[in-house]
Amino acid sequence: MSRRWLTEDHRIFQDSIRRFVEKEIIPNIDQWEKDRQVPRQIWRKMGEQGFLCPCLPVEYGGSGVDFSYSVIVQEELTRSTCSGVSTGVRVHADIVAPYILHHGTEDQKRAILPGCTTGDIILALGMTEPNCGSDVAAIRTTAIKSGGDYVINGQKTFISNGLSCDWVVLAVKTDPDAKPPHKGVSLLLVPADAPGFSKGRKLQKMGMHSQDTAELIFEDCRVPQENLLGQEGQGFRILMKNLQQERLVICIGAITIAEKMLEITIDYTKGRTAFGRPISSFQYNSFKLVEMATEIELGRTFVDALIEDHLEGKDITRRVSMGKWWLTELANRVAYDCIQLHGGYGYMEEYTICRLYRDVRPQTIVGGTNEIMKRILAKMMKL
């Protein structure tokens, strides 16, 4: 596989994050899964090594490199199989920090971004509400001007980094009567200590146990009007623009975890014997492994092309929507077949594949469900 953008510097960076993952993350996964969280200390350690938000400009504490370095971080953290770290960092660094970098004022950037590179500040994105997920324009959380503040009322749910976050980029309605409704959506920067903001339940999920997903509650929560991110009424447009990178990040996660699951399963099936032979050598199983390897390689080629287009600043909306649905379904198919090839051991907690089977499930739901991807594509194809 040739990646035109991969230089010697990328390889050195990749080696250092691989060593970090082996020493600091892999030995702790079981404990963090039991604790249902990862400690703040691991964020700080990643910050010390320059693994958090490397793409931020140097004046905000980053390394001033391009998105390709984020790709390396995402791939290595995904390969660690620790959802708490990989998803947490992905949301923080590649999904939420860009909102502040691209749409924040100088004061907002200086107040928040340097802490994001050290692990002292963790970011979350609050869009989804108990009654509204896919239809973002229908959110009901309101932010109404009062004196020099916005007063926020409403609730968010399923928020990644919800309990650990220090700042939330929050989607609100500043004009609840706007027509069409999406013109009433704005984004606010809300600190965790804002009066009237409380964190609700840590949600008990099917998988991704070490990953923090929570409810956020706003009861007459006040933030200064200077905390508006971008302009009033522009929130929906900004969300739709930034969702393209979010979907690319999901594609990268999906293909990388599919590769990892196949690697684990090839090792297992070569070592396990039945009827006096490695189970990988039975024709049905070898064909299954070959089919998975083929689909994964096709998917990888597509993802790498998307990464290149994104690095060149091209509009990836159409192809990233295709990739998001196809690659996340591929990852789920691979998980299903890998469990089957592990036999009963695949269903046992001490086998990594068991955890990964659960952890890949929400990929078809997050970042815009796969049905929403097909809706976008159907519209683009004028169907």
Ligand X SMILES: Cc1cc2nc3c(=O)[nH]c(=O)nc-3n(C[C@H](O)[C@H](O)[C@H](O)COP(=O)(O)OP(=O)(O)OC[C@H]3O[C@@H](n4cnc5c(N)ncnc54)[C@H](O)[C@@H]3O)c2cc1C
Q: Which residues bind ligand X (CB under 6 A)?
A: 91, 125-128, 133-134, 158-160, 208, 213, 362, 365-366, 369, 371-372, 375
Give the residue with the Cβ less far from ligand X, 256 or 269: 256
Amino acid at 228: L
* 45 CB-near residues (< 8 Å, 6+ apart): 20, 24, 119
Please, what is the angle between helix 317-342 and helix 235-271, to 10°? 30
- Does residue 246 have an active-site annotation? yes
Contact by Cβ (8 Å): 81, 89: no
CB count within 10 Å of CB 269 equals 22
Q: Which run of H or E residues covers position 223? A: strand 213-224
Give the residue with the Cβ less far from ligand X, 211 or 227: 211
Side-chain-side CA neighbours of 376 within 13 Å: the count stands at: 22
Q: What are the two backbone dihedrals, phi and then psi, of residue 358, each rounded to the nearest 5 degrees?
A: -75, -40
Minimum gap (Å) between residue 355 Cβ and ligand X: 14
Give the residue with the Cβ less far from ligand X, 118 or 369: 369
Minimum gap (Å) between residue 369 Cβ and ligand X: 3
Find the residue with minimal CB distance to ligand X.
133
Minimum gap (Å) between residue 372 Cβ and ligand X: 6
Give the residue with the Cβ less far from ligand X, 124 or 341: 124
Cα 308 off chain centre by: 19
| Angle in degrees, CA 323, 299, 4, rounded to 5 | 100
From the list 136, 143, 193, the residue with the least C-alpha distance to 168 is 193
Catalytic member of 106, 246, 297, 350: 246
Minimum gap (Å) between residue 53 Cβ and ligand X: 17
Contact by Cβ (8 Å): 264, 352: yes
Give the residue with the Cβ less far from ligand X, 182 or 288: 182
Give the residue with the Cβ less far from ligand X, 113 or 372: 372
Assigned token pair, 320? 């990233």
* 263 CB-near residues (< 8 Å, 6+ apart): none
Minimum gap (Å) between residue 43 Cβ and ligand X: 16
Residue 96 DSSP one-character state: I
Contact by Cβ (8 Å): 270, 277: no
Give the residue with the Cβ less far from ligand X, 90 or 109: 90
Minimum gap (Å) between residue 215 Cβ and ligand X: 11
Minimum gap (Å) between residue 378 Cβ and ligand X: 10
* 134 CB-near residues (< 8 Å, 6+ apart): 368, 369, 371, 372
The 8 Å CB, 24+ separation contacts for 320-323 are 320/244, 320/247, 320/248, 320/251, 321/247, 321/373, 321/376, 321/377, 321/380, 322/373, 322/377, 323/247, 323/248, 323/251
Minimum gap (Å) between residue 234 Cβ and ligand X: 18
Distance CA 91, CA 76 (A): 15
3-class DSSP state of 167: strand
Give the residue with the Cβ less far from ligand X, 50 or 162: 162
From the list 244, 252, 380, the residue with the least C-alpha distance to 305 is 252
Distance CA 188, CA 323 (A): 30
> Which residues does the annotation mark as catalytic?
246
